[in-house]
């Protein structure tokens, strides 16, 4: 497995692959890889001739009071996981490679970026869209793989790719969960044992919401209320939002019909957790 530490090295490698008509799959990550990332890499391995995993903790998507400095970094372990899942290359640029002095260009996906998590993390999705476009420019993938756990991120990247006619297929992949339902996330490492034990209630709440949606006379508000009651049983929790939205527009669903998504973001101690489930009515 090759380690490409600069955009030029990665671009040259991708050019060589493209010149042999090989299809390229990209799995963009910020490292601290877990079984959720492994499932994306394995899927890319099955569907593409060559697989690149990018590992870059992107400063542009963290707010001034967020966890950029303490975000877990574990390159040697991450490289082993990538190799064991069959990746051909890890792309690990430095911050100066991606954002050299004088850098001024950012991508804004309007509307979708200011809803849900965007209300609590201003500028976050601008940073995500910018870095993902830059990764696409360097790796030139045919297909790029993202987890549905970050459902809003996935919707924004699909929108950007369609709006900018990017020649890449965006593949959304199911969330991987712990046995008790907690969605895998690099940020789960921040949870204390007590918080970890309570964190399962986020998915339990969403599941309760799905059950409520199937009950007679259910309304969007009764569904979100069912989720809130389960989550509020966690000592010291605070809820950023619980929302039932249209899967494509991410706007609040006025009624229970069509393909909807139930999403929640909560704060447990110093850790912010997000999760979502489909609601098909
Ligand atoms: O989901 C992530 O890990 C990041 O937001 C991404 C897509 C790699 C962009 O930095």
Percent of the chain at pLDDT above 70? Answer: 100
CATH class label, 2-173? alpha beta
Report the nearest atom of ligand 1 relative to the CA of 58.
Answer: 10
Report the nearest atom of ligand 1 relative to the CA of 29.
Answer: 8
Q: What is the pLDDT of residues 254-273, one digit of tens each?
A: 999 999 999 999 999 999 99
Mean pLDDT confidence for 181-202: 97
| Cβ atoms of residues 146 and 172 within 8 Å | yes
Give residue 228 CA to ligand 1 midpoint distance, Å.
27
| 70 token code pair | 């303490």
Give residue 222 CA to ligand 1 midpoint distance, Å.
33
CATH 3.40.50.620 intervals, the chain: 2-173
Q: What is the pLDDT of residues 74-114, one digit of tens each?
A: 999 999 999 999 999 999 999 999 999 999 999 999 999 99
Mean pLDDT confidence for 222-234: 97
37 tagged catalytic? yes
Mutate to test the pocket of ligand 1, among 38, 68, 132 (most ligand atoms within 8 A of CB): 132
Mean pLDDT confidence for 68-73: 96
Q: What is the pLDDT of residues 72-82, one digit of tens each?
A: 999 999 999 99
| Cβ atoms of residues 91 and 50 within 8 Å | no
| 185 token code pair | 């996330």
Mean pLDDT confidence for 37-46: 98
User: Quick check: CB of 53 below 6 Å from ligand 1?
Assistant: no
Q: How far apart are CA 47 and CA 13, in angstroms?
A: 19
Identify the CATH assignment for 186-276 out of 3.10.580.10, 3.30.1330.10, 3.30.1300.10, 2.40.160.20.
Answer: 3.30.1300.10
User: Quick check: CB of 150 below 6 Å from ligand 1?
Assistant: yes
| 223 token code pair | 């569904």
> For residue 280, is pLDDT > 90?
no
| Cβ atoms of residues 235 and 157 within 8 Å | no
CA distances (Å), origin 25, targets 74, 97, 136, 214: 22, 22, 10, 38
Query: What is the pLDDT, as a whole number, of residue 281?
Result: 86
Taking only Cα atoms into account, the Rg of the chain, rounded to an integer number of angstroms, comes to 19
Closest residue (by CA) to atom 5 of ligand 1? 128
| 190 token code pair | 């921040």
Give residue 237 CA to ligand 1 midpoint distance, Å.
25
User: Quick check: CB of 131 below 6 Å from ligand 1?
Assistant: yes
Report the nearest atom of ligand 1 relative to the CA of 54.
Answer: 8
Q: What is the pLDDT of residues 127-160, one digit of tens each?
A: 999 999 999 999 999 999 999 999 999 999 999 9
Closest residue (by CA) to atom 2 of ligand 1? 29
Closest residue (by CA) to atom 8 of ligand 1? 29
CATH 3.30.1300.10 intervals, the chain: 186-276
């Amino acid at each position: 497995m090759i380690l490409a530490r600069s955009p030029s090295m990665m671009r040259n490698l991708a050019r060589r692959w493209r010149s042999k008509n090989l299809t390229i799959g990209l799995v963009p990550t910020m490292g601290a890889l877990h079984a959720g990332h492994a499932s994306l890499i394995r899927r890319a391995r099955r569907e593409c001739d060559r697989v690149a995993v990018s590992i870059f903790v992107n400063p542009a998507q963290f707010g001034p009071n967020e966890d950029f400095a303490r975000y877990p970094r574990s390159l040697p372990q991450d490289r082993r996981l990538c190799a064991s899942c069959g990746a051909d290359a890890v792309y690990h640029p430095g911050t100066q490679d991606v954002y050299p002095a004088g850098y001024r260009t950012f991508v804004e996906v309007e509307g979708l970026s200011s809803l849900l998590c965007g209300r609590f993390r201003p500028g976050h999705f601008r940073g995500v869209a910018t870095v993902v476009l830059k990764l696409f420019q360097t790796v030139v993938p045919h297909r790029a793989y993202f987890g549905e756990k970050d459902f809003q991120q996935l919707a924004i990247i699909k929108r950007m790719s369609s709006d900018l006619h990017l020649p890449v297929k965006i593949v959304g992949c199911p969330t991987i969960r712990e046995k008790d339902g907690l969605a895998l996330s690099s940020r789960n490492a921040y949870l204390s044992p007590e918080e970890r034990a309570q964190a399962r209630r986020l998915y339990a709440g969403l599941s309760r919401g799905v059950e409520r949606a199937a009950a007679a006379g259910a309304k969007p508000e009764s569904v979100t209320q069912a989720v809130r009651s389960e989550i509020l049983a966690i000592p010291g929790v605070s809820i950023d939002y619980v929302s039932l939205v249209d899967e494509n527009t991410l706007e609040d669903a006025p009624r229970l019909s069509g393909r909807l998504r139930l999403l929640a973001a909560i704060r447990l101690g110093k850790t912010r957790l997000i999760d979502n489930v489909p609601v098909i009515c």
